[in-house]
Structure 1
């Protein structure tokens, strides 16, 4: 006879890895439920953060407007008006409000750097109808406008 090797049958116990156990399915369901309940909370938080950032721009505008009005009311005359700057003559000297990069800053006698309004895209300052009209476009695309009445000596000129 030929040399035959005996057939050896080895049985391995194969663990059932084709699916999930009931405990794994329940844990997955619990985790998914917790995550879906947190989504509205996260969305509301993001909306409130965005609203606060808009409020900060509005409050910055209000502060800038008040500071400019204060300087304007205490000034003696208007030195110069251009598209991006307004210079006033006062007891402090020459006070200029100019656009610098993405902000409006205040300088006294061309010295110093006092930022007053941040995140601006554009500013337009012009003299029109016995007033100085200032339009500022903020980074959130809103446009803020203010008017300053001209000093009497400027109205006469």
Structure 2
């Protein structure tokens, strides 16, 4: 390598170093953010904020027990049908309510459901997740309905007909 080429190389290195130093000095003198830096910061913020709901999963309350609510509503609606009915018959674990217009409502267990049928037709689900329905007639005016859900919990209510 000749002396001339070494001097040229040194001059190029000095010029390159001066250019790099000038760029660094310019970048240091800038006080704001670039648009790209803002997008990157926003993206990181959104990704982190999407993880926040996962932190609350262990402290959330379990959902309310809907079986109790559904069974209470069933007993309430059944009481309304019994009050409006002319006569009630209990046979074969099925409850038949004869209305004043002649229609016969039948409440029976169908698989894991309690369903209502009108004159033997229809399939209106009144309660779900029931493993057993027990009807006991104590007298002409008093009978009991006991439901056992698929979890084994029992719900019982007495109904009295006032004529």
Specify the TM-score bucket, using the shorter chain as the normaliser.
0.5 to 0.7
Any conservation in 1 of the 2:144–2:157 contact (CA below 8 Å)? yes
Q: 1:48 aligns with which of 44, 50, 62?
A: 62
- SS in structure 2 of the partner of residue 140 of structure 1: coil
Structure 2 unaligned blocks of 5 or more: 1-53
Question: Is residue 97 of structure 2 the alignment partner of residue 88 of structure 1?
Answer: yes
2:87 is aligned to: 77
2:42 is aligned to: none
Structure 1 unaligned blocks of 5 or more: 1-36, 153-157
**Larger RCO (CA under 8 A, 6+ residues apart):** 1
Greater gyration radius: 2
2:130 is aligned to: 120
Any conservation in 2 of the 1:77–1:151 contact (CA below 8 Å)? no
Q: How does 1:123-142 map to 2 (within 5 A)?
A: 123-129=133-139, 130-142=141-153
Q: 1:62 aligns with which of 42, 61, 72?
A: 72
Moved >6 Å (runs of 4+): none
Tell me how many residue pairs correspond in the alignment. 109
**CA distance, structure 2, for counterparts of residue 104 and residue 112 of structure 1:** 13
Q: CA deviation at 1:150?
A: 3.7
**CA distance, structure 1, for counterparts of residue 114 and residue 137 of structure 2:** 19
Over the aligned positions, Cα root-mean-square deviation in angstroms equals 2.2
TM-score (norm 1): 0.62
